[in-house]
Structure 1
Amino acid sequence: MTTQEVANQLVKLCREGKNDQAIDELYADNVVSREPKGSPMELTEGKAAVKDKTLRWEESVQEIHSATCSEPLVADNHFSIVMDIDATYKEHGRIKMSEIAVYEVKEGKIVADEFFYRMG
């Protein structure tokens, strides 16, 4: 798959709420995932660990009020998307968040992702 095809498929699956399927299909086994410095999940390495992180996040959500995912912006082997979510979390209450996600693709698989958002 090309970077554009990976990006399009990721956006499609995210819009359908199939985040774990996106990891299964599109992520490399040795993927590296980064969150903002100081966050509990600042660095996650490996497909299984990234999937576990995603499942733990899903379990922390009580209700999603709205969620959007922009069209991807592709440059060579990288792409970015904007994700907005308004959710009520079991432990933290209702939070609205907007983030930019940047992905790196090699040989048709996502090998790295990094999320940029304001903490607290």
Structure 2
Amino acid sequence: MTQGSKKKRADVRRVRKGKIQGKGRRRNLAIGIGIQNFPEGLAVSLPLKAFGFSLWKSFWYGQLSGMVEPIFGILGALAVSMARPLLPYALSFAAGAMIYVVVDDIIPEASSG
């Protein structure tokens, strides 16, 4: 067996191992995002229960608020894939907006005491 073929086989093994690890990480990320929706649903349903909604109705409103996230997450991913050429400009605008908020609001409020 030549040195080149050994290296090629090792590279193929590394690529396969990387793909397997990537699949596991994607699954864990999806599970984590799904679990994170439960406290958000509680944050919606508990105040509704306190305002006099029935337990069943407040539960379903909390569930509906959590259902919006995956639906619009998919729509957002599709929109980003279609508008890929505009993405650098949109992200630059968002970064500028965040810097403006920090400079205009947060820094003066923090320095005032």
TM-score bracket relative to the smaller structure: under 0.3
Q: Counting helix residues as a fraction of each chain, which structure ranks higher?
A: 2
Q: Counting strand residues as a fraction of each chain, which structure ranks higher?
A: 1
Greater C-alpha Rg? 2
Q: When the two structures are superposed, what TM-score results if normalisation uses the length of structure 2?
A: 0.27
Q: When the two structures are superposed, what TM-score results if normalisation uses the length of structure 1?
A: 0.26
